[in-house]
Chains A and B, each alone.
Chain A
Amino acid sequence: AQSVSQHNHHVILSEAASLELGCNYSYGGTVNLFWYVQYPGQHLQLLLKYFSGDPLVKGIKGFEAEFIKSKFSFNLRKPSVQWSDTAEYFCAVKWYSNTGKLIFGQGTTLQVKP
C-alpha cells in the first residue's frame, strides 16, 4: 500500500539552529509532493510543493525541500529556525495512480526554544 513516513515525531531546537525534517514515501510511480504546516490553533497551510522540474523547491517563510527520486524522499529544511516556527509539520504525497488522494505522514511536532 502507498504510504508516507516522517522519521521524527518530536523535534526540539534552539533559535537559529538548522532544521531538517525527513519524509519518505513508498514506491508507486509519479508523485506530487507537499509540506503543510499547522501552527497552534490554526488550520493547515501549504508550505511548499513539488510537481516537476527543479528538485529543490522553495516555499514560504524561508523553508525549502529537496526531492531525491532515487531515495523516495522529500526532506524539509530551514537554515535558521525562529520561535515562530513552532508548529506541527506534515509531509503529503499524491500519486498519479490513485486518482488524486493526498496521503499524509504522521506529522512532526517542532518546538523552538527562544
Chain B
Amino acid sequence: DVKVTQSSRYLVKRTGEKVFLECVQDMDHENMFWYRQDPGLGLRLIYFSYDVKMKEKGDIPEGYSVSREKKERFSLILESASTNQTSMYLCASSPQGIYGYTFGSGTRLTVV
C-alpha cells in the first residue's frame, strides 16, 4: 500500500513563527498536494507539485510556500504563522494520469 507520512500529528506554534510541515510518500508518485481542511469548507487546495522543483498555486496559496527538492518529499511552509492558519493540513500524492489520491493522516496545527 502507498504510504503518505506527515511528520507531526499535532503542532502548536506562536504567531509570527516560521512553520514547516513535512510530507513523505513511498511509492514514487509524481504528484503531491497540500490541502487544508476546515469545518463547513471541506478541503481546499493550497499548493501542488507535478515534479521535483515544480510547484503550482492552488486555490488558497496566500501565506504559504512549498518546497519539493526530492520526489518523495513535499514541504509546506508558513512564512509567518497567523491565527487564521489554525487548521488541519492534509498531504496527498498520486501517480500521473487518472487516479485518485492517497492521503496522509493530517497535521492539526494550532497557532496561538
> Would B104 and A43 count as touching, CB distance under 8 A?
yes
A104 and B43 in contact, given A43-B105, A43-B106 (Cβ under 8 angstroms): yes
- A9 with B40: in contact, given A43-B105, A46-B100 (CB under 8 Å)? yes
B residues within 8 A CB of A74?
none
**Does the CB pair B42–A104 fall under 8 Å?**
yes
Task: Label chain B's interface by main secondary structure.
Answer: strand
Interface size class on chain B is: 20 to 34
Q: A105-B42, A106-B40, A106-B42 given as contacts; is B100 within 8 A of A44 (CB)?
A: no
Chain B minimum-CB-distance residue to A100: B31
Please indicate the chain A residues that have their CB under 8 angstroms from the CB of B56 in the complex: 99
Q: Could you write out 20 A-B pairs with CB less than 8 Å apart?
A: A36-B103, A42-B105, A43-B103, A43-B105, A44-B92, A45-B103, A51-B98, A90-B43, A99-B50, A99-B56, A101-B33, A101-B58, A102-B33, A102-B100, A102-B101, A104-B35, A104-B42, A104-B43, A106-B42, A107-B43
B residues contacting A by CB (< 8 A) are 31, 33, 35, 40-45, 48, 50, 56, 58, 90, 92, 94, 98, 100-101, 103-106
B8 → A minimal CB distance (Å): 14
B42 and A49: CB pair below 8 A? no
**Which residues of A are interface residues toward B (Cβ below 8 A)?**
4, 6, 9, 32, 34, 36, 42-46, 49, 51, 90, 92, 94, 99-107
Between B33, B43, B98, B105, the greatest number of chain A beta carbons within 10 A of the residue's beta carbon is seen for B43
Residue pair A44, B40 in contact (C-beta under 8 Å): no
B33 surroundings in chain A (CB, below 8 A): 101-102
- Which residues of chain A are within 8 angstroms of B58 by Cβ–Cβ distance? 101
Do B48 and A101 have beta carbons less than 8 Å apart? Answer: yes
In whole angstroms, what is the CA distance A34 to B42 when docked? 14
The 5 closest A-B pairs by CB, nearest first: A104-B43, A44-B103, A106-B42, A104-B42, A43-B105
- Inter-chain contacts of A44 with B (CB < 8 A): 90, 92, 103
Taking CB atoms, residues of chain A closer than 8 Å to B98 are: 32, 51, 94
- Chain A nearest Cβ from B99, distance in angstroms: 9
Q: How many Å from the CB of B17 to the closest CB on chain A?
A: 26
